[in-house]
Amino acid sequence: MTNEMLRAPAEVKYAEELDWLESIDDGPKPFSWRLSPRMVRLFVLGSERSDGLDREIPQKWFGDRSFVERSIVTLASDRGLLLIGDPGTGKSWLAELLSAAICRDSTLVVQGTAGTTEDHIKYSWNVSMVIAKGQSRESMIPSPIMTAMEQGMIGRFEELTRATSDVQDALISILSEKYVSIPELDTDNTVFARPGFSIIATANSRDRGVNDLSSALKRRFNFVRIPVVTSKASEAEIVRFRTTELLRRHRIELDVPPALLDILLQSFADLRAAAASATSEDEKLESALSTAEQIGVLEDAILHSHFFGDRTLRAETLGGSLVGSLARRAPEDLAILNKYWHGVVEPRSKNDGGEWTRFLDGGRQAISTLS
């Protein structure tokens, strides 16, 4: 089944693992949860030898254990959970994993945008059925959030602060009263949430000021702030994990040399340091320089090497992919990257040689092409 999906949701991708965890789980489960809180944590963070399991459960989200535990406790209390942090910190992936472990369905998602309306949160109507038979529960189209309410499951709201304030406030009654009224109907006009229903929302801290949450809505969420990964070791683990998934999905047999992974990690660390010391926005790359963007750079280099190279990942390809992925504004981003290449990469290539020299050449060529 997963072979027929471009990207299988977590509950499909890890179905066998979830089945096994459910079969051995004898812990107390809140509401209609499929796994106990301890097993949910184990599924997300992976098993340890002290867990005494007959098989190893791989780690799927890389971050502080306390963030996962607080998220699980929040959902067990039936309060809304808001995961907030910079782009690329794994908020959506954590929300998907939690939903998959708790209710085996992570697809009840509303995507917040400027075009998101209250209908996307509550319900809309099948116009042709309304014309033919009138308004009824049969002609109503429930939103993913309403479906989660009816089934006692987890609903997800991605990029909450991208939606307008009036749309955000539609969540207030859902989170507090746990029901939705349908005034168009005379009977059967209230949908009540079943036990187990909750909402996991995500918000980018960089969107602060776009559509700030009201005080009333904030009170109905528990906030869990996901920080940017600063440990090189942790970031390397995340990149390796995602890259392995990528290679498996594309059925590509290609090694990522440790030296090239080190260059990628060091380059992002250098660029982040430069952005932190910049005195104006024009001196910062438009990119958030997140871990997710590192993975994107590596993915681009791997696919380019596989389809247009000799199926060997090389430093010059990585350098070109980094420039091509991060140069979004012309000439601002190109000028910043050119300064980095001359001021940091070039001296490093003279001192260390080897892969840094080839990385220098690949980046230079890409900058020249784009200029």
Q: What are the tens digits of pLDDT across the range 224-234?
A: 999 877 777 88
Give the pLDDT of residue 289. 86
| Whole-number average pLDDT of the chain | 90
Helix ranges (H only) for 48-169 are 65-76, 91-103, 118-121, 127-133, 144-151, 165-168
The rounded distance, in Å, linking the Cα atoms of 46 and 62 is 10
> Stretch 99-114: mean pLDDT, rounded?
96
Q: What are the tens digits of pLDDT across the range 243-270?
A: 888 777 778 877 788 899 999 999 999 9
Q: What is the pTM of this model?
A: 0.85
Give the pLDDT of residue 63. 85
pLDDT band at 287 (very low <50, low <70, confident <90, very high): confident
**Count of beta carbons in the 10 Å neighbourhood of residue 184:** 14
The rounded distance, in Å, linking the Cα atoms of 328 and 158 is 24
Q: Are 57 and 21 in contact (CB under 8 A)?
A: yes
Q: What are the tens digits of pLDDT across the range 297-326?
A: 999 999 999 889 888 899 999 999 999 999
Handedness of CA 264, 265, 267, 271 (dihedral sign): positive
pLDDT band at 25 (very low <50, low <70, confident <90, very high): very high
Give the pLDDT of residue 116. 93
Buried-exposed string 271-302: b where 16+ CB fall within 10 A, e elsewhere: bbebbeeeeeeeebbebbbbbbbbbbbbbbbb
pLDDT band at 28 (very low <50, low <70, confident <90, very high): very high
- Bridge partners (DSSP) listed for residue 80: 221
Give the pLDDT of residue 210. 62
Q: Pick the more confident residue, 128 or 206.
A: 128
* Cβ contacts of 49 within 8 Å, gap of 6 or more: none
Check pLDDT > 90 for residue 2: no
Give the pLDDT of residue 245. 80
Strand-strand pairing, 190-192 and 179-181? antiparallel
Q: What are the tens digits of pLDDT across the range 333-361?
A: 999 999 999 999 999 999 988 899 999 99
CA-nearest of 262, 367, 265 to 321 is 367
